[in-house]
């Protein structure tokens, strides 16, 4: 086992220049704080930006040496690079878009170019310290391109990626001009992790709709990406639970609690802790508190809202605007309800040491955490960890990732100020026993799945997908097997090459009409056909007219409509047997009804079959419709001597007895072949594999069970093999 290489935008150690001399201090907040304890306990190194501009650094080597003592490796960036990459693309493009604030999203090519350049700089730093046996764990939206950059340079490395913010719906994500590059960058990882299933589902939908990669369930959900499989899974991030729980009892925390209590008196404390950000719902939260005080005047002078806001980003106009609006809202509410002896809101804008923050958690009666959109929200978990006596109520936005785990909290819509106001009232009147029971369940869950368990779970998942990749590789058409095949190919005198088309020679398209053969494919087929030792047969589900138009001039054999029509080299088309199509009218009416009910689907009519295509339909919706349609068709076809074939994003109804296996039997009887190669990707090709001699080279494209002896992962691998044969 090699070392663990953690890669994130920031290091857990920040460099500050004091009188020109570097001073190292722990980074505060976010991933650096959350993952630092795990890093300290592992054989790991950490790569990230050190917090200082390259122009300000006098002795980079000295800083590197100091950071190495903490197992940290810096990526130095110029001021301009950092501004365009971090404030620009990361926080003016990706951050608002991924949080559904489309109106704040800025699309600038100079931001994008800086983002690519910085991701490449991170790649070069990682390559200096990482080896093939290491595990590389890349974090968050700042480095979405890095997994593929690393994969291109370290093809066999174990690479994981975790996104700590939401992944938006495909309708929102597709607004990004560089959407395909972003997805391809993430898919360089072996395992991609998200906080919630919703985020994972949105990512999978975007991959399917924008890139067209197939997805399979093999115990875990995986995506077939060219010659690899990539796993996508959910890992809700935890906290260092025991540390927060134990801190609540420390003397310095108890002292801080007494100071706060002296300030607020015997009033009930409602706590709001957040970073200054338009995604956090701070203004909506204050409006709800205003409504609470208006509706329930009996609580005036008996409660106080302590709002702690961390200003972590500067230079972004939306943050400056929200700061002004927040200040105005606090002032307005305090003027509206405040008295000489009572200030409704205590607004803390200054930095708080961790002991004071934990004191606020432990003292608070209610935590009011209502972001408009949040990847996880660890503050909610930290608040619960400090509740060692069980008292305290968490009010949590349903749009925070943590809401999926913390269902015993009071879950609210952050845009519904009436609901939040009522939740405050419910929290303040909740019986102590109910508070303790709710918190007991949540605390137990958080203690069990803490940050260390989260990290271990992710790395175990990464190890699992690497095992699956190796298992598939044992059947994969490896370099050695390919070399043996090419040797046999060169020595053989008569070769039969049986090639499926869609998904085998070309990737799938949203519309079958778009998947036309390109010049490279035509050149490969022409060269293979000109070799007199070869008999090339295209075995497809396409109509005979289409195959004739595309390939008729090449002198290849053709099988159309999954075996209904056969055309030997330079001969005429013939049916495999006389077939009846009188059944079509009744079935067509059913299929057209499902087209009307399923936008994006369509019916294709072939000579002896009808096909309902749903590749352009949303996956979940399509699967629902497929189940309904199959049930309906089974009832209709029971006495019609028809069969229902489920293919890749299609349902085909055809007479019983038609199959690719039966069709290729005509070539098997024709003569004795020294070598047979058969390549296909779906259920119809299994019929072809089944009738071939055991020594044939049968190859499945993609993952999933198959009769084939070998597999490849994409049409591009098939092309590569055929190219070598043609040469």
Whole-angstrom Cα distance, residue 567 to residue 532?
18
Whole-angstrom Cα distance, residue 250 to residue 247?
5
Whole-angstrom Cα distance, residue 503 to residue 716?
10
Whole-angstrom Cα distance, residue 601 to residue 650?
9
Whole-angstrom Cα distance, residue 281 to residue 374?
10
Q: In the annotation, is 287 catalytic? A: no
Whole-angstrom Cα distance, residue 699 to residue 677?
8
Give yes or no for a contact between 391 and 432, defined as CB atoms under 8 angstroms apart.
yes
Cα–chain center distance at 241: 27
Both tokens of 646, joined, read: 């489920």
How many of the other CB atoms lie within 10 Å of CB of 45? 20
3-state secondary structure 86-138: HHHHHHHHHHHHHCCCHHHCCCCHHHHHHHHHHHHHHHHHHHHHCCCCCEEEE
Whole-angstrom Cα distance, residue 501 to residue 498?
10
Kindly report the backbone phi and psi dihedral angles of residue 520, in degrees, each rounded to the nearest multiple of 5, phi listed first. Answer: -60, -45
Long-range contacts of 375-380 (CB under 8 A, 24+ apart): 375/163, 375/164, 375/165, 375/166, 375/195, 375/199, 375/401, 376/164, 376/195, 376/236, 376/237, 376/400, 376/401, 376/402, 377/401, 377/402, 378/34, 378/237, 378/239, 378/402, 379/273, 379/274, 380/406, 380/409
Strand ranges, E, within 648-693: 650-655, 675-680
Which one from 274, 500, 502, 681 is the annotated catalytic residue?
500
Whole-angstrom Cα distance, residue 584 to residue 654?
9
Going from the C-alpha of 100 to that of each of 183, 331, 561, the distances in angstroms are 18, 29, 45
Whole-angstrom Cα distance, residue 136 to residue 551?
46
Q: Among 421, 436, 439, which residue's Cα sits nearest to residue 270?
A: 421
For tokens 């079958």, name the residue: 512
Inter-axis angle of helices 179-186 and 146-153, nearest 10: 60
User: Who's near 726: CB < 8 A, 6+ residues apart?
Assistant: 524, 527, 528, 531
3 state SS of 290: helix
Query: Which residues, in sequence order, are bridge partners of residue 272?
Result: 307
Task: Catalogue the active-site residues.
Answer: 500
């Amino acid at each position: 086992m090699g070392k663990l290489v953690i890669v994130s935008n920031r290091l857990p150690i920040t460099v500050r220049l004091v009188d020109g001399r570097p001073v190292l201090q722990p980074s505060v907040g976010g991933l650096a704080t959350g993952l630092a304890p795990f890093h300290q306990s592992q054989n790991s190194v950490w790569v990230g930006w050190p917090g200082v501009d390259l122009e300000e650094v006098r002795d980079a080597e000295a800083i590197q040496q100091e950071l190495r003592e903490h197992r940290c490796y810096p990526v130095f960036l110029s001021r301009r690079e950092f501004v365009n990459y971090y404030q620009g693309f990361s926080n003016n493009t990706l951050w608002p878009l991924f949080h559904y604030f489309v109106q704040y999203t800025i699309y600038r090519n100079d931001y994008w170019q800086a983002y690519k350049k910085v991701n490449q700089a991170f790649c070069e730093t990682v390559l200096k310290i990482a080896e093939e046996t290491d595990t590389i764990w890349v974090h968050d939206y700042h480095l979405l391109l890095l997994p593929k950059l690393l994969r291109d340079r370290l093809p066999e490395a174990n690479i994981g990626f975790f996104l700590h913010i939401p992944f938006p719906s495909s309708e929102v994500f597709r607004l990004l001009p560089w959407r395909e590059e972003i997805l391809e960058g993430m898919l360089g990882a072996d395992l991609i992790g998200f906080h919630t299933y919703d985020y994972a589902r949105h990512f999978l939908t975007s991959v399917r709709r924008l890139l067209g990669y197939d997805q399979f369930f093999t115990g875990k959900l995986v995506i077939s990406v060219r010659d690899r499989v990539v796993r996508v899974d959910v890992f809700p991030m935890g906290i260092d639970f025991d540390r927060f729980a134990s801190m609540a009892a420390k003397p310095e925390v108890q002292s801080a609690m007494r100071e706060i209590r002296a300030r607020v008196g015997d009033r009930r404390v409602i706590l709001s802790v957040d970073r200054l950000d338009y995604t956090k719902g701070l203004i909506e939260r204050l409006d709800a508190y205003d409504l609470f005080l208006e509706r329930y005047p009996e609580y005036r002078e008996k409660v106080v809202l302590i709002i702690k806001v961390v200003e972590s980003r500067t230079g972004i106009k939306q943050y400056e605007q929200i700061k002004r609006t927040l200040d105005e809202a606090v002032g307005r509410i305090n003027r509206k309800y405040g008295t000489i002896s009572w200030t409704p809101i205590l607004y803390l804008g200054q930095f708080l040491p961790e002991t004071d923050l934990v004191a606020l958690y432990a003292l608070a009666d209610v935590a009011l955490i209502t972001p408009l959109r949040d990847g996880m929200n660890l503050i909610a978990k930290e608040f619960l960890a400090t509740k060692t006596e069980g008292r305290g109520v968490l009010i949590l936005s349903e749009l925070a990732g943590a809401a999926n785990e913390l269902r015993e909290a009071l879950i609210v819509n952050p845009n519904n100020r009436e609901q939040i106001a009522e939740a405050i009232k419910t929290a303040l009147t909740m019986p102590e026993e109910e508070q303790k029971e709710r918190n007991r369940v949540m605390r137990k869950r958080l203690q069990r799945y803490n940050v260390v368990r989260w990290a271990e779970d992710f790395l175990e998942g990464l190890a699992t997908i690497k095992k699956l990749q190796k298992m598939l590789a044992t059947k994969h058409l490896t370099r050695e097997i390919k070399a043996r095949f090419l040797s046999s190919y060169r020595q053989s005198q008569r070769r039969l090459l049986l090639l499926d088309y869609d998904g085998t020679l070309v990737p799938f398209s949203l519309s079958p009409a778009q998947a036309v053969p390109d010049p490279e494919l035509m050149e490969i087929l022409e060269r293979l056909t000109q070799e007199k030792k070869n008999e090339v047969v295209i075995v497809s589900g396409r109509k005979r007219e289409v195959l004739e138009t595309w390939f008729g001039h090449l002198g290849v054999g053709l099988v159309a409509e999954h075996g209904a029509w056969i055309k030997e080299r330079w001969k005429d088309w013939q049916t495999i047997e006389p077939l009846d199509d009188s059944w079509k009218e009744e079935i067509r009416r059913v299929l057209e009804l499902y087209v009307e009910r399923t936008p994006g689907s369509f019916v294709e009519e072939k000579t002896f079959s009808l096909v309902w295509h749903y590749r352009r339909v949303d996956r979940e919706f399509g699967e629902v419709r497929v189940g309904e349609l199959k049930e309906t068709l089974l009832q209709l076809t029971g006495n019609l001597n028809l069969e229902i074939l489920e293919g890749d994003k299609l349902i085909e109804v055809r007479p019983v007895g038609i199959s690719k296996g039966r069709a290729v039997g005509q070539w098997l009887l024709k003569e004795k072949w020294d070598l047979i190669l058969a390549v296909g990707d779906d259920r119809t090709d299994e019929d072809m594999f089944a009738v071939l001699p055991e020594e044939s080279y049968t190859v499945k494209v993609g993952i999933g069970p198959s009769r084939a002896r070998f597999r490849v992962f994409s049409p591009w691998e098939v092309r590569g093999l055929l190219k070598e044969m043609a040469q």
